[in-house]
Structure 1
Amino acid sequence: MQATDAVVCIGASQVWGPPVEAAQPLDYLAAVIALRDLLRRGGRLVYGEAVWCSAPTPEATAALSGRDDEFLTADELVHLVRMNGFTVSGVDLASQDEWDNFESGYMRRLERWLATHPADHSDAAEVRKQLLDQRARYLDGYRGVLGMAYLTLVAA
């Protein structure tokens, strides 16, 4: 495969690790190595991934995989990419407002589905449960604990 000049990977590192259903830590290292291999020297990567933005709480880990080691911190992620073939040219963390907007958009999609389908639709109970579960996981679980880091990287 020919190396490329630019790659964007936002929230997709799980592609290079164990199946999400295995509830294992996100394999950032496998993702970073695979992404580096796609780029020529001097190529750019915009890499966005979930990170702990504060110490994981029991409520946050219970709402996710149940593991404190599921995610890295932004500082740990920066260290990892620097040790694996990248120069960091930018670091940005999603604000709480941005994260709330992202999560709210996900929940609004479910709310719209419920509003546009009959209450006795064969999928309505499952969609309603999914909405209530997601709302509880986020608002009572990982809100303010899980965040998103966006790194702008140059392949060394």
Structure 2
Amino acid sequence: MNLYMTAGTYDFLERLAEKHSGENMVLMTGEDGALLVHETEGKTVFASPRKYEVLESVGELGNPGMVVMNNIPVTEEGKPVFEYRFKNRAGKIESSPGFQAIRVLRPIKSNTYVILTAWADEAAFENWKNSNSFGKSHGAPKEESGPSIFSGKSYITKYYISE
């Protein structure tokens, strides 16, 4: 499965989604404008998207609520280690109240992985952030020898899906 993202004005992306209504697309808005996400086994209809391979997929995207994307730059050498850690994660987020979906996304032409989570609302996300399961999964990493697998600081982007 692949996931593609493209940014633009809300009106333009809304028309694009309507034109391709048979495709699995989700339109969302954030501080920096609108984003259209396309999940497909095939190619995208976007002219110049950000491209990702879906490593893990739980739940359905597209329900009204909040989407949080944790953007994590990883070195080329660190990619296998990073993916191993995610494949062996506890998976407790799925049982959090208000959780809707998660996508672990491997970048096709960049070094920034995206952990996309969808929530019923911002309160559900904040409650999870303050939970024990978040603390266990995001606590201080164990001391490791060797170079860091990260090529930069991670950052969060938030979007909202309306009805």
**TM > 0.5 fold call:** no
TM-score normalized with structure 2 length:
0.27
Q: Which has the larger radius of gyration?
A: 1
Instruction: Report which of the two has the higher share of helix.
Output: 1
TM-score with structure 1 length normalisation?
0.28
The structure whose RCO (Cα within 8 Å, separation 6+) is larger is 1
